[in-house]
Structure 1
Amino acid sequence: MIVYNKLKNFEGSESEEVMAKYVVNHTMDVLDMSIEQFAAINYVSNSSVVRFCQKIGLKGYSDLKIKLALEINTFLIDNERIEVDMPIAPNSSNAKIATSFLNLYYQTLADVHRSIDLNKLSEIAKILEEANYISLWGNGPSMLIALDFYYKIKRLGYVVQCDDIIGFHSVPIERKRKGEVALIISSYANSPQIRQWVIAHRRNGTQTILITLNEDTPFKNIVDHIIIFNSEEKRTGKLGHFASRTAMSYIIDMLYAMIFNFNYDDNVRILYEDGKTVNERGEYLKNLLIE
């Protein structure tokens, strides 16, 4: 979790919560403050500031300012982070709405880029690249992400399956496929449906990968591989799945690009040959089988 979100959700003593709230509301000012100035404005001692910083996993006040400075590039125009659940305020102008969403997308992408474990993502990409059969699993908005990934790797010739018809995912998973890898995409990864998939694949000995935005998913120690990014998006009471969708799409796009890169020249040729079957108007040529 990034420092800003730790501070936003911080729970501690009254004085510590006051410090956390001050940093959240005056981030730019804090960057220019000495520890003495910060302590004075919050009516605490220097040692209390250091202990507060250590409680959020930092070495001290200087480390806090360094981490905040690294995150400051997500405060694009208004010098404040966008609320992921309700990114627009009442009576926002059209221009303000447009700017808020621009900032929200950039903020989310920057957060993922800063926190993602690229080595783990590369490991997962290699597992999928070497799989004999890839099955994709997701519900609701996550299914849209899964279908996009399905289309991309299907074009490259991978054997991949994704049941996008409502109800088909409830069919028991009984048959084991040799060399299958199951990729489950889920924002919260805590539903009975996800549990059914994870247990079924585990029972079949299928290597299972989970990509989720929930740090507290009960399945993180059950699946074989997991990528977690906490978008801080609530499940209910939000305008839409904007931050989670952006984060998931970015992670899946990176995963696809890594897979593509393993056989770059061959994959470029595949896409080129596929493109030759379509003319400039996007209509399929009639003589597909004639060379």
Structure 2
Amino acid sequence: MIIEQLVGNKKLTKIEEQVIQFIQDYPRAVINLSLEQLSKQCFVSQASIIRLCKKLGTKGFADFKIQLASELSSFALDGKQISVDIPIPPNESCENIAKIFYNLSVKTLEHTFNTINFNEIEEAAKLLTEADTVYLYGRGESLILAEDFHYKLIRLGIHSSLETLNGFQEARSSYTNSKINEVALIISQYCNSNQFHYVVDELMSNNIPFILLTATQKTWPYDHFAKVTLRINCLESRHKMGSFTSRTAMLYLLDCIFGQMFSLNYEQNITNLARFSQRKIERDYYYRNTHSTDNSD
């Protein structure tokens, strides 16, 4: 496999290692570059790149890009290339389908962990922990992730606000209280919907800092506006049967942020969880008794 050879090939010259490093850092960009553009970006000759491509088992740069593009849209699982867009082959058994999704999740978590910027996780957790109010935004499948994070914050007693309807997400009072520390978290896979643009505009108009979690590599100028931008390396296309890898990666990063938040105020959060659990027990006891009384009438 091309990607495995990029990582594991030890018979490379210094110039070839320089090209390999650029390809590893910007694999999707390389697919769209010409041979001349790549040589200028890496400060090496075109002939050196062609020799490298042939050393990796391809016919030349064009063939290398075709194979790289193919592998970027799939994972190597049990020696087979599985598409992340449609990972299920036809007429597959239930056991093998379960194995495919298991392996897909494992590979996604492994890849995401290896590319985490821990400083960004810590900065995002600090911003959210110090906020008096946290605003959460998401749309479609991103909204489901936002709701999960919203519930986790509630369990810790953090004042979290999440509007589930698009129109309500885009509208916000123009009145702000300078004494209240507000922070927002926006989850958006592509950062290209009208709602996303409206939300960013509202936050910036009200001087509310925001954290951006996305699968898009090109988010300018929004990554410039965001206090923290967290990116996952999404291999999925628009023609996917479901957001399996992107969902797993985003949920993992959100759990990392939440875990860091919990750690920052550990003792207080242990107390908050105990109170939350006690309230649920008391409510359940009350409703059970009320239900029994109603049935006896």
State TM-score, norm by structure 1. 0.72
Residues 77 and 227 from structure 1, CA distance in 2 versus in 1: closer, same or farther, beyond 3 angstroms? closer
Match of 1:269 among 265, 268, 271: 271
Across the two proteins, how many residue pairs are aligned to each other? Answer: 240
* Aligned residue runs from structure 1 range 201-212, under 5 A: 201-212=203-214
Residues 277 and 221 from structure 1, CA distance in 2 versus in 1: closer, same or farther, beyond 3 angstroms? closer
1:130 is aligned to 2:133: no
Q: Deviations over 1:201-251 (max 9, x none)?
A: 1121111111111111231112222111122211x2111011111111111
Any conservation in 2 of the 1:75–1:103 contact (CA below 8 Å)?
Answer: no
Aligned mates of 1:57, 1:206 — CA distance in 2: 35
| Identical aligned residues as a percent | 32
Match of 1:179 among 165, 178, 181: 181
Any conservation in 2 of the 1:85–1:237 contact (CA below 8 Å)?
Answer: yes
Equivalence for 1:230? 233
Normalized per residue, the structure richer in helix is: 2
Q: 91-100 or 148-157, which moves further after superposition?
A: 91-100
Match of 2:23 among 46, 50, 56: 56
Aligned mates of 1:97, 1:134 — CA distance in 2: 39
Aligned mates of 2:206, 2:153 — CA distance in 1: 24
Distance apart, 1:141 and its partner CA:
0.7
Any conservation in 2 of the 1:184–1:211 contact (CA below 8 Å)?
Answer: yes
Aligned mates of 2:132, 2:153 — CA distance in 1: 13
SS for the counterpart of 1:97 is helix
Match of 2:200 among 180, 198, 201: 198
Equivalence for 1:18? none
Equivalence for 1:98? 98
Aligned mates of 1:103, 1:213 — CA distance in 2: 21
Q: Deviations over 1:65-89 (max 9, x none)?
A: xxxxxxxxx9786134532111112
Equivalence for 1:155? 155
Aligned mates of 1:247, 1:98 — CA distance in 2: 19
Match of 1:250 among 246, 252, 255: 252
Any conservation in 2 of the 1:137–1:185 contact (CA below 8 Å)?
Answer: yes
Equivalence for 2:261? 259
Aligned mates of 2:175, 2:156 — CA distance in 1: 26
Any conservation in 1 of the 2:236–2:245 contact (CA below 8 Å)?
Answer: yes
Aligned mates of 2:127, 2:86 — CA distance in 1: 37
Aligned mates of 1:121, 1:50 — CA distance in 2: 30
Q: Deviations over 1:96-115 (max 9, x none)?
A: 21111011111111111110
Q: 46-55 or 165-174, which moves further after superposition?
A: 46-55
CA RMSD between the two structures: 3.2
SS for the counterpart of 1:196 is helix
- One-letter identity of the residue aligned with 1:23: I
SS for the counterpart of 1:82 is strand
Aligned mates of 2:273, 2:14 — CA distance in 1: 60
Aligned mates of 2:123, 2:173 — CA distance in 1: 26
Distance apart, 1:173 and its partner CA:
5.1
Any conservation in 1 of the 2:123–2:228 contact (CA below 8 Å)?
Answer: no
Residues 47 and 245 from structure 1, CA distance in 2 versus in 1: closer, same or farther, beyond 3 angstroms? closer
SS for the counterpart of 1:285 is helix
Residues 224 and 114 from structure 1, CA distance in 2 versus in 1: closer, same or farther, beyond 3 angstroms? same
SS for the counterpart of 1:175 is coil
Equivalence for 1:11? none
- One-letter identity of the residue aligned with 1:118: F
Distance apart, 1:163 and its partner CA:
0.4
SS for the counterpart of 1:135 is strand
Equivalence for 2:11? 35
SS for the counterpart of 2:184 is strand
Aligned mates of 1:123, 1:108 — CA distance in 2: 23
Aligned mates of 2:156, 2:14 — CA distance in 1: 58
Distance apart, 1:53 and its partner CA:
2.4
